[in-house]
């Protein structure tokens, strides 16, 4: 029984306008005719595409209607209990005749709610932007040209192609299905993949269920094996997936661990603040102060002291950080991953496409009839011009290149003016013109294909040139695997001879020599037998081995520098590849990976022979895993995690998905990665470049420090405001700040100055620091010390000004204005000090433009509050002399100077510690 709640509705879907129901019973020719398209070239003109798009719309499933922004804004006034208390206070003030107070409180409430709403709206928009960073794509043929496009651009009649790991972009009538099985569990609830065919269903009395429509590939389902092509028959809401989309209620995503920690911190501080505020209010009333004044002060203090905006600022900071990473080609799909990035201390990386450029070129060829050149037994392609290659092309080599051409799925894209597909396939086709050869696929008709898989390690096709009785089978793959399927070979005269052990040994020796040069080696074989089977385990047999081709995939330009920086920061970088140990070691040395000790290189067979405990023991010194399968990746991740390491794992294939999910950070390839891998991953590299991981880890570490910085700012401000009012009330002094002024301070604490600390540019120094431990608290002893130091200086300085200005028992507008301005200036200097936890501001400079504008804007607002008559009435202030401002600026800068002194001693102590360490 399926657990899918939509199964009953889906399986019973009998919509009269269902395109899948209609076309599953139509032949391919009828489908092509009805949709007015072409089976080989797709839709012919852009105007036709535009007409179809205007008729059918965009291939997207629209979300629920957006909530009215005005209503959402107004809801903030009655959903927050503290705001309701302030509104009640304003109503009471108006009822008692204190019209000025009522108007002031109302304006203050509006400002506070607006700032909070803007923050939340910004957070939501940032998260919406994240959801658009990894749009669905499809391989499309239009007017004979094949290219990768956004799935949203598809229209009915389009010809699309898909292979293992791809997500079907629309409802499609299949026109080609090679070993094609599709996982439809997210649509039907059935976990078993469905074998697809191109045959139309025979007309039946009963309406075929979705699971019976084997000639249709449904939107949103996943290709588990094989590949295929088809004609788009319906898009968007008109697909079968669109029919059940309306039934899906949105599930609220769980908060990230960091957000949960911030929620807990906020709740703990709220409880503490409420207790202090309650005591302040009680003491004030017992001292005979107006209960309404104490009520207003207490509620305003609660709004200011309780960091209700903390989780929002955390979300905004994480989201903006993720958007910055996207500009560096690293798309983080889940916010919690940002926290984990700063803790990664092991990176397991694929070789091909990540550490290397993923652009293969054929460099060496070997066959038994080649006599050698340049003192080498191989034909060295890169050292010869086209004329020389023509002259040295032997009969057997011609067979090898022909095999590489026919057993090939690369397609030519007119739009991109190059071949697209598997890099090895592309390399085999691109080298043909250098030998004066043409692509042989145009003269052959393929009748069967056994696609490459990581378990088979080879690909086979069966083709003929017009006569089915003269069909032939061609195989390419790992040399030892192809050799195992062969029982004969072409000798130096081009004759077919039995494959003896001596010849096998020679072939494997040549394969090893190519691998030792860091080349990917492919073996080729063929026979004149027909190979067509539906059996899962069937293999071609009695093949004639033809020869070997070695191809080079050079390392990416910046990868060695990135590895050096990661190793300097305490990150263990490991290469995982399916290539031979010799090839892997050659590439590892080129990119600067240390190969030290007998356990530096481990093969897949060795992994299988070791227990989990034994593997965990030896794995600390491993730099390269060779001859591995995707299944080995899971074992490797578990072994590292068993040691307590935080593991990042890269992958691109369907079988990599379990390891990507298991890893602390799964990293999928954006260009060559399958949709399954991307969905399982936490991060997608849009350029498939290893150096991008370095940028992402740098951002992850930087974001964590930025969060600590703005928490330091918020807590020091909150503690200072609470303590200031508490001390004044305790000693029987008038309240140094009125309700409006406290609310303005709250805006500064939760608003632009605090947010700007969250987008502080990442300091390159973070990469020299060791990875953060998984259980490290964000509120460390060092952070608490900084908070208490800053809060103490703000309290002492503000109390000094208040007591100095307080001449009589009756507080004046000047007294509160001086105290109010003093606190705000302290806050601005404190924000400046909080930009970096250990570096002087004179070192980092004024590089954070958002911070600069936030502080200037806050100071402008403060000057408006004390010099503009309208705001003077609201905040109950009066104009100050220029000398007053100079005096306050000098006094308030002490919090900045004090933190600079602290940073100096921290730096000095660090240098002494490092010096002692290096001395040892």
Please compute the mean of the pLDDT values over residues 840-858 and round it to a whole number: 89
Same domain, 700 and 807: yes
Q: Where are the beta strands (DSSP E) in 73-170?
A: 137-142, 145-150, 159-163
The more confident residue out of 299 and 615 is 615
| Alpha-carbon span 431 to 372, nearest angstrom | 19
Is residue 281 over pLDDT 90?
no
Q: Among candidates 341, 311, 254, 326, which has minimal Cα distance to 710?
A: 311
Q: How confident is the model at residue 455 (pLDDT cuts 50, 70, 90)?
A: confident
Q: Is residue 82 part of a domain?
A: no
What is the domain-level CATH number for residue 409? 3.40.1110.10
- 631: tokens are 């299944």
CA angle 370, 374, 378 (to 5 degrees): 35
| Alpha-carbon span 722 to 271, nearest angstrom | 13
- The mean-pLDDT minimum among 89-103, 248-262, 292-306, 687-701 falls in 248-262
Same domain, 277 and 313: yes
Among candidate residues 654, 688, 722, the one where a domain is terminated: 688
Same domain, 658 and 800: no
The per-residue DSSP string of 99-136 comes to HHHHHHHHHHHHHHHHHHHHHHHHHHHHHHHHHTSS--
Length of the chain: 920
CA angle 833, 837, 799 (to 5 degrees): 40
Same domain, 642 and 543: no
| Alpha-carbon span 353 to 650, nearest angstrom | 11
| Alpha-carbon span 709 to 57, nearest angstrom | 48
DSSP state at residue 167: B
Q: Among candidates 655, 613, 653, which has minimal Cα distance to 634?
A: 655
Contact 348, 649 (CB under 8 A): yes
Is residue 126 over pLDDT 60?
no
Q: How confident is the model at residue 830 (pLDDT cuts 50, 70, 90)?
A: very high
Tens-place pLDDT, residues 645-667: 889 998 877 667 888 888 989 99
| Alpha-carbon span 180 to 404, nearest angstrom | 23
Q: Among candidates 546, 493, 543, which has minimal Cα distance to 369?
A: 493
Is residue 4 over pLDDT 50?
no
Q: How confident is the model at residue 258 (pLDDT cuts 50, 70, 90)?
A: low
| Alpha-carbon span 452 to 458, nearest angstrom | 5
- What pLDDT is recorded for position 850? 87
- What pLDDT is recorded for position 809? 63
Is residue 3 over pLDDT 50?
no
Residue with tokens 């000693």, as numbered in its chain: 731
Contact 378, 550 (CB under 8 A): yes
- 468: tokens are 């089915």
What is the domain-level CATH number for residue 747? 1.20.1110.10
- What pLDDT is recorded for position 397? 93
Same domain, 454 and 529: yes
- As beta bridge partners, residue 684 has 331, 668
Same domain, 344 and 236: no
Ramachandran angles phi, psi of 463, nearest 5°: -135, 165
CA angle 403, 405, 410 (to 5 degrees): 135
What is the domain-level CATH number for residue 179? 2.70.150.10
With H, G, I as helix, E, B as strand and everything else as coil, classify residue 528: coil
| Alpha-carbon span 609 to 646, nearest angstrom | 25
- What pLDDT is recorded for position 867? 95
Q: How many CB atoms lie within 10 A of CB 197?
A: 12
Q: Among candidates 58, 63, 120, 109, which has minimal Cα distance to 85?
A: 109
Q: Is residue 146 part of a domain?
A: yes
Q: Is residue 307 part of a domain?
A: yes
Is residue 596 over pLDDT 90?
no
Q: How confident is the model at residue 91 (pLDDT cuts 50, 70, 90)?
A: confident
Contact 636, 348 (CB under 8 A): yes
- What pLDDT is recorded for position 204? 56
The more confident residue out of 736 and 161 is 161
The per-residue DSSP string of 577-617 comes to -SS-HHHHHHHHHHTT----STTSEEEHHHHHHS-HHHHHH
Is residue 683 over pLDDT 70?
yes
| Alpha-carbon span 594 to 607, nearest angstrom | 20
- 610: tokens are 């070791």
- 157: tokens are 């009649």
Contact 232, 154 (CB under 8 A): yes
Please compute the mean of the pLDDT values over residues 101-114 and round it to a whole number: 67
DSSP state at residue 664: S
Q: Is residue 14 part of a domain?
A: no
Domain that holds residue 839: 258-325+696-913
Sign of CA dihedral 69, 72, 73, 74: positive
Contact 558, 354 (CB under 8 A): no
- Percent helix / strand / coil, the chain, rounded to 5: 55, 15, 30
With H, G, I as helix, E, B as strand and everything else as coil, classify residue 489: strand
| Alpha-carbon span 817 to 823, nearest angstrom | 10
- As beta bridge partners, residue 350 has 576
Torsion on CA atoms 379, 382, 384, 386, rounded to nearest 10? 100
Q: Among candidates 740, 744, 745, which has minimal Cα distance to 876?
A: 740
Same domain, 297 and 220: no
Is residue 224 over pLDDT 60?
yes
Q: Among candidates 685, 674, 678, which has minimal Cα distance to 661?
A: 678
Is residue 250 over pLDDT 50?
no
- Residues contacting 24, CB < 8 A, separation 6+: 173, 200, 201, 208, 213, 214, 215, 216
Q: Among candidates 768, 637, 697, which has minimal Cα distance to 348?
A: 637
pTM of this structure: 0.69
Q: Among candidates 409, 410, 393, which has minimal Cα distance to 401?
A: 393
| Alpha-carbon span 896 to 893, nearest angstrom | 5
Q: How confident is the model at residue 428 (pLDDT cuts 50, 70, 90)?
A: very high
Is residue 891 over pLDDT 80?
yes
Q: At what angle do helices 813-833 and 690-730 cross, to 10 degrees?
A: 150
Tens-place pLDDT, residues 523-577: 999 999 999 876 767 889 899 999 999 998 888 888 899 899 888 888 999 999 8
With H, G, I as helix, E, B as strand and everything else as coil, classify residue 580: coil
Among candidate residues 528, 552, 576, the one where a domain is terminated: 552
Ramachandran angles phi, psi of 475, nearest 5°: -130, 140
- As beta bridge partners, residue 139 has 148, 161
| Alpha-carbon span 312 to 262, nearest angstrom | 10
Same domain, 736 and 825: yes
For all residues of the chain together, what is the average pLDDT?
82
- 844: tokens are 């980092």
> What's the Cα-to-Cα distance from 172 to each of 58, 207, 319, 847, rounded to whole Å?
16, 19, 36, 52
Tell me the chain's radius of gyration from C-alpha atoms: 35
Q: Is residue 767 part of a domain?
A: yes
| Alpha-carbon span 512 to 919, nearest angstrom | 46
- The alpha helices in 367-440, defined as continuous H runs, are 386-392, 395-406, 423-430
Among candidate residues 688, 718, 748, the one where a domain is terminated: 688
Q: Is residue 435 part of a domain?
A: yes
* Bridging pattern class, strands 486-490 and 472-477: unpaired
Same domain, 146 and 229: yes
The more confident residue out of 920 and 540 is 540
CA angle 461, 465, 467 (to 5 degrees): 105
Residue 3 a catalytic site member: no
Same domain, 780 and 648: no
Total domains, the chain: 4
Ramachandran angles phi, psi of 579, nearest 5°: -70, 170
- What pLDDT is recorded for position 285? 78
Widest Cα–Cα separation across the chain: 116
Contact 112, 83 (CB under 8 A): yes
Burial class of 154 by CB neighbour count within 10 A (0 to 12, 13 to 18, 19+): buried
Is residue 312 over pLDDT 50?
yes
Q: How confident is the model at residue 108 (pLDDT cuts 50, 70, 90)?
A: low
Please compute the mean of the pLDDT values over residues 768-794 and round it to a whole number: 84
- What pLDDT is recorded for position 254? 47
> What's the Cα-to-Cα distance from 776 to each of 268, 568, 682, 772, 788, rounded to whole Å?
19, 21, 21, 7, 20
Residue with tokens 């003896």, as numbered in its chain: 500
- Selection from 368-382, 451-465, 489-503 with the highest mean pLDDT: 489-503
| Buried residues in 262-275 as b, exposed as e (16+ CB within 10 A) | beebbeebbeebee
CA angle 263, 268, 271 (to 5 degrees): 125
Sign of CA dihedral 714, 717, 722, 727: positive
Same domain, 671 and 763: no
Ramachandran angles phi, psi of 223, nearest 5°: -75, 115
Is residue 39 over pLDDT 70?
yes
Is residue 6 over pLDDT 70?
no
What is the domain-level CATH number for residue 590? 3.40.50.1000
Same domain, 784 and 899: yes
Please compute the mean of the pLDDT values over residues 159-173 and round it to a whole number: 90
Choosing from 80, 293, 350, 827, which is the catalytic residue? 350
The gap from C-alpha 586 to its chain's centroid, in whole angstroms, comes to 30
- What pLDDT is recorded for position 916? 39
The more confident residue out of 877 and 917 is 877
Q: Is residue 637 part of a domain?
A: yes
């Amino acid at each position: 029984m399926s657990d899918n709640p939509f199964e009953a509705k889906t399986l019973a879907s009998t919509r009269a306008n269902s395109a899948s129901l209609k076309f599953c019973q139509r032949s391919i020719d009828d489908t092509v005719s009805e949709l007015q398209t072409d089976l080989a070239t797709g839709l012919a003109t852009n105007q036709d595409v535009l007409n179809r798009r205007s008729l059918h719309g965009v291939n997207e499933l629209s979300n629920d209607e957006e909530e009215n922004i005005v209503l959402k804004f107004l809801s903030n006034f009655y959903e927050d209990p503290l705001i309701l208390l302030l509104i009640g206070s304003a109503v009471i003030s108006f009822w008692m005749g204190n019209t000025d107070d009522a108007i002031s409180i109302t304006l203050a409430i509006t400002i506070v709610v607006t700032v909070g709403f803007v923050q939340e709206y910004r957070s939501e928009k940032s998260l919406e932007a994240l959801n658009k960073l990894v749009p669905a794509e499809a391989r499309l043929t239009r007017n004979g040209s094949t290219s990768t496009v956004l799935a949203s651009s598809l229209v009915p009649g389009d010809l699309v192609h898909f292979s293992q790991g791809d997500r079907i972009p629309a409802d499609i009538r299949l026109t080609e299905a090679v070993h094609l099985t599709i996982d439809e569990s997210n649509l039907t609830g059935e976990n078993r993949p469905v074998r697809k065919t191109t045959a139309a269903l025979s007309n039946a009395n009963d309406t075929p269920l979705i699971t019976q429509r084997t000639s249709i590939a449904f939107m949103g389902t996943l290709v588990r094996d094989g590949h295929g092509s088809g004609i788009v028959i319906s898009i968007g809401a008109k697909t079968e997936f669109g029919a059940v989309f309306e039934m899906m209620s949105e599930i609220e995503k769980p908060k990230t661990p960091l957000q949960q920690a911030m929620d807990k911190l906020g709740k703990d501080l709220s409880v503490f603040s409420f207790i202090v505020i309650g005591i302040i209010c009680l003491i004030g009333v017992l001292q005979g102060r107006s209960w309404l004044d104490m009520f207003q002060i207490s509620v305003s203090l609660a709004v200011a002291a309780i960091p209700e905006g903390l989780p929002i600022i955390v979300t905004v900071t994480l989201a903006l950080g993720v958007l910055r990473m996207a500009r560096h080609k690293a798309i983080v799909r889940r916010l919690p991953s940002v926290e984990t990035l700063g803790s990664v201390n092991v990176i397991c990386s694929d070789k091909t496409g990540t550490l290397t450029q993923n652009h293969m070129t054929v460099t060496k060829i070997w066959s038994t009839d080649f006599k050698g050149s340049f003192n080498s037994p191989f034909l060295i392609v890169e050292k010869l011009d086209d004329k020389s290659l023509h002259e040295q092309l032997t009969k057997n080599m011609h067979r090898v290149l022909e095999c590489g051409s026919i057993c090939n799925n690369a397609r030519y894209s007119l739009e991109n003016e190059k071949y697209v597909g598997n890099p090895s396939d592309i390399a085999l086709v691109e080298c043909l013109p250098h030998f004066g050869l043409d692509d042989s696929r145009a003269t052959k008709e393929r009748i069967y294909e056994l696609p490459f898989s990581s378990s088979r390690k080879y690909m086979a096709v069966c083709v003929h040139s017009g006569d089915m009785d003269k069909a032939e089978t061609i195989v390419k793959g790992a040399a030892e695997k192809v050799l195992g399927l062969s029982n004969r070979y072409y000798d130096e005269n081009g004759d077919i001879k039995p494959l003896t052990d001596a010849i096998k040994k020679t072939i494997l020796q040549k394969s090893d020599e190519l691998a030792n040069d860091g080349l990917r080696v492919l073996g080729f074989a063929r026979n004149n037998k027909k190979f067509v089977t539906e059996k899962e385990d069937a293999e071609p047999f009695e093949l004639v081995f033809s020869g070997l081709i070695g191809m080079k995939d050079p390392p990416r330009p910046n990868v060695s520098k990135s590895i050096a920086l990661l190793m300097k920061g305490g990150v263990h970088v490991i290469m995982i590849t399916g290539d031979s140990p010799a090839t892997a070691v050659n590439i590892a040395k080129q990119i600067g990976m240390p190969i030290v000790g007998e356990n530096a290189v481990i093969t897949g067979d060795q992994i299988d022979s070791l227990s989990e405990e034994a593997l965990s023991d030896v794995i600390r010194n491993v730099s390269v895993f060779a001859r591995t399968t995707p299944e080995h990746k899971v074992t490797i991740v578990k072994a590292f995690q068993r040691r307590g390491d935080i593991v990042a794992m890269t992958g691109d294939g369907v079988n990599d998905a379990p390891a990507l999910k298991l890893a602390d950070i799964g990293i999928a390839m954006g260009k060559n990665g399958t949709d399954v891998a991307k969905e399982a991953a936490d991060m997608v590299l849009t350029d498939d470049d290893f150096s991008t991981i370095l940028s992402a880890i740098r951002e992850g570490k930087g974001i964590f420090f930025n969060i600590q910085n703005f928490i330091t700012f918020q807590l020091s401000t909150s503690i200072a405001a609470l303590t200031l009012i508490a001390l004044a009330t305790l000693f029987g002094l008038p309240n140094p700040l009125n309700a409006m002024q406290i609310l303005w301070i709250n805006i500064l604490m939760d608003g632009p100055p605090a947010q700007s600390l969250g987008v502080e540019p990442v300091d390159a120094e973070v990469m020299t620091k060791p990875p953060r431990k998984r259980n490290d608290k964000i509120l460390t002893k060092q952070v608490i010390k900084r908070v208490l130091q800053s809060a103490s200086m703000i309290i002492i300085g503000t109390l000094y000004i208040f007591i100095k200005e307080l001449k009589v028992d009756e507080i004046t507008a000047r007294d509160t204005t001086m105290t109010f301005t003093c606190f705000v200036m302290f806050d601005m200097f404190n924000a400046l000090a909080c930009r970096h936890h250990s570096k002087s501001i004179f070192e980092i400079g004024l590089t954070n433009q958002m911070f600069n504008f936030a502080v200037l804007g806050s100071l402008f607002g403060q000057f408006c509050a004390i010099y503009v008559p309208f705001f003077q009435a609201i905040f109950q202030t009066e104009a100050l002399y220029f000398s007053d401002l100079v005096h306050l600026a000098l006094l308030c800068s002490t919090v900045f100077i004090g933190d600079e002194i602290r940073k100096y001693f921290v730096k000095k102590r660090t240098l002494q510690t490092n010096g002692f360490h290096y001395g040892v």
